[in-house]
Amino acid sequence: MSEQKQGLLLIVSGPAGSGKGTVLRQLMSDPRYVYSVSATTRHPRPEDKEGVTYYFFTREQFLSKVEKGEMLEYTQYVGNYYGTPKEKVSHALREGKNVILEIETDGAMQVKKLMPDAVSVMLLPPDYATLEGRLRGRGTEDEETILKRLKTAVDEVALCDRYDYIIVNETGKSEQAVQRLREIVAVEQLRPERDPDFKARFFAKG
Amino acid sequence: MSEQKQGLLLIVSGPAGSGKGTVLRQLMSDPRYVYSVSATTRHPRPEDKEGVTYYFFTREQFLSKVEKGEMLEYTQYVGNYYGTPKEKVSHALREGKNVILEIETDGAMQVKKLMPDAVSVMLLPPDYATLEGRLRGRGTEDEETILKRLKTAVDEVALCDRYDYIIVNETGKSEQAVQRLREIVAVEQLRPERDPDFKARFFAKG
């Protein structure tokens, strides 16, 4: 198949303790992957960089984009809006980049509805005991905070069968999970519907 | 995910000149794969081996299996029946083997209808020129035979978008095509619907 074809939108969710951060950092070292940067209405902090940590929108800009259907998904959190500008994602996909959208379960389902071509993956620890161990292991939070985080994680795991794929991130084997993500992208690109001109090209060289 | 899970039924089609034989031979060197042996009503030849080249059925046995819905697909060819006994395939899948069903387009669609969990792959040469070159390259057939074989091949390529995946077998790179087949199997096994007990196992170890 041709090399100029459209990239893949890869939605990645994973509860705390899934090791998602490490896995995605390794994947991003490949230049064919770009990370989808969110837009937000919260005020920039000193460490923020426009277009790197976030795109900073005014409330009016953000809500206007929502109204025009220009946000792939959005949510409100402590008074601020957070979301994914459709145009940035589409541009990268047209350039043939695979776009990683790291997002929680609710946003993942919103995006999947608007862009059915997107591929959704949930990254999980091997089992609940490991999940709890990894969450407690940090040792920096009180019991109430830990229980709250555990509850959130369990709610996310419960939705794993709504995803296209589940990757279990075995302890100490994050390279394997990265490899699985790469394989998902490679295999999804073999679907005929992702290359509608294939037959025309095939017979053109006759 | 667990190691005892059900294997995958992999339907592989490919026109003459696709290099399918070489690719499947390489794949079959992996003991996790088994080749689905067809049943036939034709008479055994000296080189035939029951259960290896074919299962040899009487006409009555064959038609009784068809009637009972025990053939995944079948066809008639110069007066003899050829088909895939469901029971043999299901048994291997339950044992966790990945079953390769090498079959032409019509049979592929029959099987996909009866076993929607099956994954269908069409193997193709890079383009029509290569296909024609590989067919003519044998140099053993007259023009009429070649044109007939080309027509059959073109008819098969035309159906490629009914398959789940298309693998282009680049000249001299059959290992790459084998690798793609392996990746398809690995990635398909990450689908939540193929492991309905996953969540139960996840939370059991808590």
Question: Which residue's structure tokens are 């059925």?
Answer: B57
pLDDT value of residue B31: 93
Predicted structure pTM score: 0.91
Determine contact, residues A205/B127, Cβ cutoff 8 Å. yes
Nearest neighbour of A129 by CB, restricted to B158, B191, B205: B205
Distance from CA of B14 to the nearest CA of A (A): 14
Determine contact, residues A44/A102, Cβ cutoff 8 Å. no
B137 token code pair: 């390259």
Distance from CA of A136 to the nearest CA of B (A): 13
Determine contact, residues B168/B180, Cβ cutoff 8 Å. no
Amino acid A36 reads: S
pLDDT value of residue B139: 74
Interatomic CA distance for residues A71 and A88, integer angstroms: 10
* Beta-carbon separation of A127 and B201 below 8 A: yes
Q: Pseudo-torsion of CA A41, A43, A45, A46, nearest 10°? A: 120
pLDDT value of residue A139: 74
Best mutation target among B1, B5, B112, B187 (most A Cβ atoms within 10 Å) is B187
Q: Cα-flanking dihedrals φ and ψ of residue B139, to 5°? A: 65, 15
Work out the average pLDDT over B112-134: 94
Going along chain A from its start, the domains and CATH numbers come out as 9-193 (3.40.50.300)
Nearest neighbour of B157 by CB, restricted to A132, A168, A202: A202
pLDDT value of residue B4: 60
Element (H, E) at A74: strand A71-77
A141 pLDDT tier (thresholds 50, 70, 90): confident
Best mutation target among B166, B168, B184, B197 (most A Cβ atoms within 10 Å) is B166
| Edge-to-edge strands, sheet with A71-77 | A55-56, A39-40, A80-85, A71-77
* Beta-carbon separation of B127 and A202 below 8 A: yes
State ipTM.
0.90
Work out the average pLDDT over B51-76: 94
Element (H, E) at B129: helix B128-137
Question: Residue B6's closest CA among B186, B179, B187, B195?
Answer: B195
Determine contact, residues A152/A15, Cβ cutoff 8 Å. yes
